[in-house]
Amino acid sequence: MCRSDLRQAVLAKNDGLAASLRDDLARQGVTLVNLLSSPGSGKTELLARVLARAGERGVPAAALTADLATENDAVRLARSGAPVRQLLTDGLCHLEARQVRARLADWLPADTALLFVENVGNLVCPASYDLGETLRIVLMAVTEGEDKPLKYPTAFGSAHLVVITKTDLAGPAGFDESLFHENVHQVNPGVEIIRSCARTGTGVGTLLDRALAARDGGPPHRPPLAPHPHTHDHHASAPVS
């Protein structure tokens, strides 16, 4: 078996496990939100704000955060008051569905409505692996450059939602937001782009709203490189306001 065939076999096996996990979570009324970004994008702090906002609004949310080493991010996220678990990949540059399922076993609180998975900081490998998510969000800081979507088309092309982070630094960074939008829509036409800033709270409520919308009806946008092209049935309970 050549390397290409082996990779396809690995991805096919992962897709099967992801589909099974997604169905199991749906039966429990849980929606998985997969967060992808480069290292240093600010997604941990933004996620901490979203988890805290969920708590304020009475939305049962939990988080699984992945890194090659240390539990630093889990400690930071736990300050939000939400249930949090760390997943160490032991050098693997991405998460796979089997790892998520194994880490969730005997842990996820029964009333969980939203499960946020903070993927390993990397826009290459994680983009190819479905984790059983209903909503895939790709984040990018204004300091990373407007051409990121063109450099990483698989990641941005598979996003149901794109988030710009650290918008308070847009001026000093010389960030051209119009060009960024143009580049995103070149690889993923029609995808929604949200501005956010963890420091000021900008976009936090909108992100939570989009996650709840996915829970209650699925993402309205179908990306060209959809991570799970099949249709999902949603068995969630009524919206939590």
Q: What is the pLDDT of residue 231?
A: 41
CB 212 within 8 A of CB 239: yes
pTM over 0.85: yes
Q: What is the pLDDT of residue 227?
A: 81
From CA 168, how far away is CA 230, in angstroms rounded?
38
The residue to which tokens 């400690």 are assigned: 75
Mean per-residue pLDDT over the chain, rounded: 91
Give 166-202 pLDDT, tens digit per residue. Answer: 999 999 999 999 999 999 999 999 999 999 999 999 9
CB 97 within 8 A of CB 132: yes
From CA 23, how far away is CA 28, in angstroms rounded?
9
CB 213 within 8 A of CB 221: no
Q: What is the pLDDT of residue 241?
A: 30
- Which of 137-151, 207-221, 225-239 reaches the highest mean pLDDT? 137-151
Residue 27 has pLDDT above 50, yes or no: yes
Comparing 93-102, 180-189, 223-232, which segment has the lowest mean pLDDT? 223-232
Give 37-91 pLDDT, tens digit per residue. Answer: 999 999 999 999 999 999 999 999 999 999 988 899 999 999 999 999 999 987 7
6 pLDDT tier (thresholds 50, 70, 90): low
Q: What is the pLDDT of residue 3?
A: 62
